[in-house]
Amino acid sequence: MTPMHYYRCFAGIVWREALRFVHQRERFLSALVRPLVWLFIFAAGFRSVLGVSIIPPYETYITYEVYIAPGLMGMIQLFNGMQSSLSMVYDREMGSMRTLLVSPLPRWFLLTCKLLAGVAVSIIQVYAFLFVAWFWDIQPPLEGLLYALPALALSGMMLGALGMFLSSAIKQLENFAGIMNFVIFPMFFASSALYPLWKMKESSTLLYDICWYNPFTHAVELIRFALYGQINWVSAAYVGGTTIVFLSLAIYGYDPGRGLISRKGGK
Amino acid sequence: MNAQPAIQETVDAALDVEGLTHSFGEKKALDDVALTIRPGDFTVLLGLNGAGKTTLYSLITRLYNNRSGAIRILGFDVRRQSPQALSKIGVVFQQPTLDLDLTVEQNLHYHAALHGISRSDAQKRLETELDRIGLSERLHDKVRELSGGQRRRVEIARSLLHHPKLLLLDEPTVGLDIGSRQGILDHVRKLCREDKLAVLWATHLIDEIDEGEQVVILDQGRVLARGDVAEVNKQAGTKTIREAFNKLVGDKAETGT
């Protein structure tokens, strides 16, 4: 097993993910349309209801659309992470996950490659969204678009790793709808994606605490600050730490000796 | 099948399984399973649905670990030396595993990359393998456009790209018409003869066994008989392998054939 073997394997997995992405136009379209619907309709409706005061990283008053843009970028990655795990559950049922797992390189490496490939796809989707949003007056500083890249890579890793862990724990496709409801919606709504956390604090301190500990909040804040050229160190550390936890759980879940996969009979 | 000394046999074995027991919770899926496949052997693993065939395949391919007993591929322990062991195996799973939206060529390149084969080398190999199964002209077609039998043949070609010594097939003819079934059987038998490939072919169809071939009869996780067809008949005291199977496995077999 030479380094070259590792490299070819990594390139092969990313290449396949990219090909699948290109071939699944509906998936790309829905990934693009979903946040745009939120931006065009939801944000327009709530614009007058929710006043957003000046909070970091913003230096002036901003419109509600500008506020929720990073949240929607996070949403794209959240859905993509869950969708790639959906495809893993599907893949496993259809068997192509097994083709991956019986190849000779260590399993943690194969899973990490798969994860990175998914992150790359999610980042393409986010930039496509930003491109359209630009014409809707969501115009962060140009260098912010560049600074957002490492933030998106990290948040994508975290959400992808979460999806991967869930896929190792889910037995059948039907259970996945439940996970969508119990993971995606609570994570999205109990976060700073749609409203600043100080507003939440006015309603309930308990909810505020829940939101604060929600890793998705920190993914969104990390992206939000990066988009304006700043680093939110607390969020970066929180997202980094959570990524390690989720990825370890995913690797454990797929471990041939101890993981969940052996308890389920691999189907 | 010439008789070899027992020690020689285990060293030379493409696949050597001994004392393999595996449970899911309370249920024993495999119970003290042992079998040996030498290079060039076409071995049929015969059992009804639920006999433990897929569990055995999952353990040999290390989808999950065996907790007791040993599985060796060309002497490499699947658990302790899994990269070496896994690189010697080609697998065709029961479920189709090709990407329908990708072309035949793209599917094969993906597999080659997983095994660390360079792109130019992979191109040569996949052209050779596709030529052998008579699908060269379908190289650039999407898998979706292929028939069930053609997809199976592509999966076999794919499983051979990294030049394995042991080929595992789990009910590869399920859902295929008689013509494609026979075509695939003939192709795999030829691989056995010409490439000295060791083959483990799982099925519940008794008529997929030819005279002189190796048979392992598996039922409820236990090996009831193994050896070539004549030996199994001798053990069971029957004339045909069908009778032997019915006698050993019992009435349940009637519905499974």
Please report the pLDDT score of residue B7 as a whole number. 47
Contact B62 A98 (CB under 8 A): no
Contact B115 A104 (CB under 8 A): yes
- Cis preceding-peptide flag for A57 (omega within 30 of 0): yes
Q: How confident is the model at residue A11 (pLDDT cuts 50, 70, 90)?
A: very high
Q: How confident is the model at residue A29 (pLDDT cuts 50, 70, 90)?
A: confident
Structure confidence by residue, pLDDT tens digits, B46-99: 999 889 998 999 899 998 888 889 999 999 999 989 899 999 999 998 888 898
Residues B6-88+164-256, CATH architecture: 3-Layer(aba) Sandwich (3.40)
Residue B257 pLDDT greater than 80, yes or no: no
Residue B8 pLDDT greater than 70, yes or no: no
Q: What is the DSSP string of B128-146?
A: HHHHHTT-GGGTTSBGGGS
Q: Stretch A111-119: mean pLDDT, rounded?
A: 92
Chain-centroid distance, C-alpha A217: 12
Q: Stretch A161-185: mean pLDDT, rounded?
A: 79
Q: How confident is the model at residue A170 (pLDDT cuts 50, 70, 90)?
A: confident
Residue B117 pLDDT greater than 60, yes or no: yes
Q: How confident is the model at residue B212 (pLDDT cuts 50, 70, 90)?
A: confident
Q: Stretch A151-155: mean pLDDT, rounded?
A: 97
Please report the pLDDT score of residue A255 as a whole number. 84
Residue B9 pLDDT greater than 50, yes or no: no
Residues of A whose CB is below 8 A from B113: 8-9, 11-13, 15
Q: Identify the residue with better confidence: A97 or B176.
A: B176
Please report the pLDDT score of residue B23 as a whole number. 86
Nearest to A103 among B79, B86, B94 (CB): B86
DSSP-H helix ranges across chain A: 3-23, 25-37, 43-46, 64-94, 96-101, 107-134, 142-169, 174-179, 185-189, 197-203, 205-213, 215-227, 233-253, 260-264
Contact B29 A6 (CB under 8 A): no
Q: Stretch A4-21: mean pLDDT, rounded?
A: 92
Q: Which residue of B has its CA nearest to A263?
A: B24
Residue A221 pLDDT greater than 90, yes or no: yes
Structure confidence by residue, pLDDT tens digits, A203-219: 889 999 999 999 999 99
Q: Which residue of A has its CA nearest to B56?
A: A265
- How far A7 CA sits from the closest chain B CA (Å)? 8
Residue B161 pLDDT greater than 70, yes or no: yes
Q: From CA A239, how far away is CA A223, in angstroms rounded?
A: 11
Please report the pLDDT score of residue A152 as a whole number. 97
Q: How confident is the model at residue B190 (pLDDT cuts 50, 70, 90)?
A: very high
Residue B256 pLDDT greater than 50, yes or no: no
Q: From CA A27, how far away is CA A114, in angstroms rounded?
A: 18
pLDDT, averaged across chain A: 87
Q: Stretch B100-126: mean pLDDT, rounded?
A: 94
Q: How confident is the model at residue B1 (pLDDT cuts 50, 70, 90)?
A: very low
Nearest to A102 among B61, B101, B110 (CB): B61
Please report the pLDDT score of residue B222 as a whole number. 93
Residue A266 pLDDT greater than 60, yes or no: no
Q: How many residues does chain B have?
A: 257
Q: What is the DSSP string of A182-233?
A: IIIHHHHHTSSSSS-HHHHHHH-HHHHHHHHH-HHHHHHHHHHHHHTT---H
Give residue limits of the domains in chain B: 6-88+164-256, 96-163
How far apart, in Å, are the Cα atoms of A124 and each of A86, A118, A156, B73?
19, 10, 11, 43
pLDDT, averaged across chain B: 89
Q: How confident is the model at residue B251 (pLDDT cuts 50, 70, 90)?
A: low
Residues of A whose CB is below 8 A from B79: 257
Nearest to B99 among A2, A96, A265 (CB): A96
Q: Identify the residue with better confidence: B190 or A266.
A: B190
Tokens encoding A195 = 């409203």
Residue A67 pLDDT greater than 60, yes or no: yes
Please report the pLDDT score of residue B252 as a whole number. 58
Nearest to A23 among B101, B115, B117 (CB): B101
Highest mean pLDDT among A26-40, A67-81, A94-108: A67-81
Q: Stretch A185-194: mean pLDDT, rounded?
A: 92
Please report the pLDDT score of residue A263 as a whole number. 57
Q: Stretch B132-161: mean pLDDT, rounded?
A: 93
Contact A23 B55 (CB under 8 A): no
Contact A12 B112 (CB under 8 A): yes
Contact B93 A98 (CB under 8 A): yes
User: Which of A6, A16, A267 best tests the B interface by mutation, with the highest count of B CBs <10 A?
Assistant: A16
Q: What is the dihedral of CA B240, B245, B250, B252, to 10 degrees?
A: -120
